[in-house]
Amino acid sequence: MKKNIKSQVKHFYAQAYADYLRSGNLEGATREVAQQIFLDRKDKPGNAHGDWIAAERITREWPRTITEASESHLYDKTMAKTREWLKDIETELGFDNPNDAYRAFRAVLHAIRDRLPVRESTQFASQLPMLMIGMYYSGWTPVNKPVRVRSMDEFLDRVQEQLPKGMDPMRVAAGIIRVLERHISEGEMKDVRRNFPEKLREVWKEALEGRR
């Protein structure tokens, strides 16, 4: 929408715009704007048809404007959700920056992801913040899933591959699982645990025993 039209909507047709947001009736809102144009025109040259054309020019961009505003709101919302998760990881693991939190989260998520059957993996991913879903699927392929992990040491080795040097993979994995338990639905987390064989559940035991 052109700047001058935005200004008109903001200053003179705010009520019509608000009515449109509530009702979705663009024709009714256009009629309100046309009426306002007629009143503003006073003794200046013009006619009802011209007023209607001018009103349509003002209101035809509203649906796109609202869509853009909704997309912006959605982006702001998922950014806030992502920051909330990363802050929770920082607190849980005693980190002092979101980069370490992100890398720890990615390492554990990828190890969990690859141990899950394809359908369960996608159901689990659907509960992550939108901005983290891309990270979750980075490098993933549905072929030969779940990956056969024969021991806890092997699972932790997969975690450690993506961790910064010096981080304890068991401590990190247990902490991330505690964060997941707080943010993912109970039913989904039960499904994830069921897909981990008994010999890999030590990490879940560690996580639950250290729950704060």
End-to-end CA distance of the chain: 51
- Same domain as 199, residue 124: yes
Sorted by sequence, the CB contacts under 8 Å of residue 77 that are 6+ apart come out as none
Residues 102 and 40 both lie in one domain: no
Same domain, 183 and 106: yes
pLDDT band at 43 (very low <50, low <70, confident <90, very high): confident
**Residue span of the structural domain in which 170 resides:** 77-209
111: pLDDT strictly greater than 90: yes
**What tokens does 53 get?**
């054309």
Residue 9 counted as domain residue: yes
Highest-confidence segment of 60-69, 86-95, 188-197: 86-95
Q: 146 and 113: one domain? A: yes
Phi-psi region of 153 (alpha: psi -120 to 50; beta: other; left: phi over 0): alpha
Does 53 lie in the same domain as 145? no
Q: Give the C-alpha separation, 113 to 105, whole Å.
A: 12
Strands (E), 78-203: none
The structural domain count of the chain equals 2
State yes or no: pLDDT of 13 exceeds 70: no
Angstrom CA distances, 98 to 105, 125, 162, 176, 207, stand at: 10, 21, 15, 14, 21
87 with 56, same domain: the answer is no
pLDDT the model gives residue 141 = 86
Confidence of residue 31 (pLDDT cuts 50, 70, 90): confident
Residue 70 domain flag: no
Query: Looking at the structure, do residues 157 and 113 belong to the same domain, yes or no?
Result: yes
Residues 82 and 185 in one domain: yes
pLDDT of residue 59: 80
On whether both 84 and 12 belong to a single domain, the answer is no
Task: Give how far Cα 10 sits from Cα of 15, 62, 94, Å.
Answer: 9, 12, 47
Task: Mark whether 201 and 104 lie in a shared domain.
Answer: yes
- Report the alpha-carbon distance of residue 110 to residue 121 in Å, rounded: 10
Q: How far apart are CA 200 and CA 198, in angstroms?
A: 5
Res 5 pLDDT > 70: no
Burial environment of residue 169 by CB neighbours within 10 A (0 to 12, 13 to 18, 19 or more): buried
Residue 66 lies in a domain: no
Same domain, residue pair 45 and 125: no
* Residue 67 domain flag: no
pLDDT band at 170 (very low <50, low <70, confident <90, very high): very high
53 plus 82 within the same structural domain: no
* Domain assignment present for 71: no
Percent of residues, the chain, with pLDDT higher than 90: 35
10: nearest Cα among 33, 42, 34? 33
